C-alpha cells in the first residue's frame, strides 16, 4: 500500500529509509525493462569491487530514452525528496544497476561520503532505487543499516560491528528511498538470475551533481524535456544566484521562466 507523505517521513526519521509501493504504474516498469534490455546487452561489467565485476551499470539514462524521464520526475517521489532536501534539488545520477549471478556484496558506504562535509550535516543527498525485478535477499536486494543515519562516529560503529543489516526486499514496481548518510550496499546475488534496478539519486542544488548532467545531456536533448525536468537536471539557479549564466537563470536559455 502507498504510504502517506507523513508516514514516509516518519519511517525515514526512524530508520533512514522507506519502501514506497503503488507510487508508479506497473506498465512503466515494463517499458523501463524493454528500454534497458539492449543497453544491458551492450554493456560491460564493472571495473572494480565497488562497481561490481559481475554488475552492469548504465548511466546518463536521460540521454538514452524518453521513458527514463518518468523516473527522474515522478511527482510522488519528488514530493518526498523535496520534503527531505527542500525545494532546490537536482538530479545527481540516474543509473541502471544489474547485479549478475555470483556477484558479491558491494561494500557498505554512504552516498553523501563523496562530499567532504563535517558530521553531522543537514541532508544533502537523497537516493531511490526502482525495483525492475523483485528484490530479494538472495538476488542482491539493497542492504541497509537501519538507524545508521544517526550515527555520530560511523567508522567506529562499523569497526565494533554492533549493527544489523537488513535486505530491502520488495516486489517489482516498488521504490526504495533512503537518506544519503544511511549506510547501505548492493547485496550479493546467490541466485541464477540477474537483479535489475534503477538508482535515481538527488542532491541539494548547491553541491555538485555526481554525474555531470551538463555534459551527459546535450542541450537539444534537454530542450525536449518538460520544464520541471529541465530545472532538475541543472538548468536552474539555487537562490539567490548559484548556477547563473551571465547573471540570468539558465532556464531562460531554454525559452522558459
Ligand X SMILES: O=C(O)CCC(=O)C(=O)O
Question: What's CA 96's distance to the chain center, in Å?
Answer: 10
* Residue located via cell numbers 563523496: 114
Q: Which is nearer to ligand X, 52 or 250 (CB)?
A: 52
Whole-number Å distance between alpha carbons of 141 and 197: 9
Q: Which three cell numbers stand for residue 212?
A: 555531470
Instruction: Tell me how many residues contact ligand X (CB under 6 A).
Output: 8
Position 129 contacts ligand X (CB under 6 A): yes
Site for ligand X contains 186 (CB under 6 A): yes
Closest residue (Cβ) to ligand X?
Answer: 186
198 is a contact residue toward ligand X (CB under 6 A)? no
- State residue 100 phi and psi, 5-degree precision: -90, 160
- Cβ 124 vs Cβ 117: under 8 Å: yes
**Nearest in space to 225 (alpha carbons), one of 66, 92, 81, 74:** 66
Residue 155, C-beta contacts closer than 8 angstroms, at least 6 positions apart: none
194 interacts with ligand X by CB under 6 A: no
To ligand X, the closest distance from the beta carbon of 242 in angstroms equals 26
Instruction: Give the nearer residue to ligand X in terms of CB position, either 112 or 236.
Output: 112
Options 18, 97, 144, 188; binder of ligand X; rule CB under 6 A: 97
Q: Which is nearer to ligand X, 15 or 106 (CB)?
A: 106
* Binding footprint of ligand X on the chain (CB under 6 A): 97, 106, 129, 142, 184-186, 199
Amino acid at each position: 500500500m502507498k504510504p502517506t507523505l507523513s508516514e514516509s517521513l516518519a519511517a525515514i526519521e526512524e530508520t533512514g529509509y522507506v519502501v514506497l509501493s503503488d507510487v508508479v504504474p506497473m506498465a512503466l516498469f515494463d517499458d523501463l525493462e524493454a528500454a534497458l534490455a539492449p543497453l544491458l546487452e551492450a554493456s560491460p561489467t564493472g571495473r572494480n569491487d565497488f562497481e561490481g565485476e559481475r554488475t552492469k551499470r548504465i548511466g546518463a539514462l536521460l540521454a538514452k530514452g524518453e521513458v527514463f524521464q518518468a523516473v527522474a520526475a515522478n511527482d510522488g517521489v519528488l514530493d518526498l525528496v523535496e520534503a527531505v532536501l527542500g525545494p532546490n534539488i537536482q538530479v545527481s545520477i540516474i543509473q541502471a544497476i544489474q547485479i549478475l549471478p555470483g556477484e558479491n556484496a558491494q561494500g557498505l558506504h554512504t552516498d553523501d561520503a563523496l562530499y567532504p562535509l563535517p558530521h553531522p550535516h543537514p541532508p544533502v543527498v537523497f537516493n531511490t532505487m526502482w525495483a525492475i525485478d523483485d528484490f530479494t535477499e538472495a538476488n542482491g536486494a539493497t542492504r541497509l543499516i537501519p538507524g545508521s543515519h544517526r550515527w555520530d562516529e560511523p567508522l567506529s560503529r562499523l569497526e565494533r560491528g554492533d549493527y544489523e543489516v537488513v535486505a530491502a526486499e520488495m516486489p517489482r514496481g516498488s521504490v526504495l528511498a533512503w537518506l544519503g548518510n544511511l549506510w547501505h550496499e548492493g547485496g550479493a546475488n546467490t541466485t541464477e538470475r540477474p537483479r535489475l534496478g534503477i538508482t535515481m539519486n538527488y542532491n541539494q542544488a548547491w553541491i555538485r551533481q555526481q554525474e555531470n548532467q551538463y555534459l551527459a545531456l546535450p542541450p537539444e536533448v534537454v530542450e525536449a524535456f518538460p520544464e520541471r525536468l529541465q530545472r532538475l537536471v541543472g538548468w536552474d539557479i539555487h537562490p539567490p544566484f548559484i548556477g547563473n549564466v551571465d547573471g540570468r537563470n539558465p532556464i531562460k536559455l531554454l525559452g522558459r521562466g
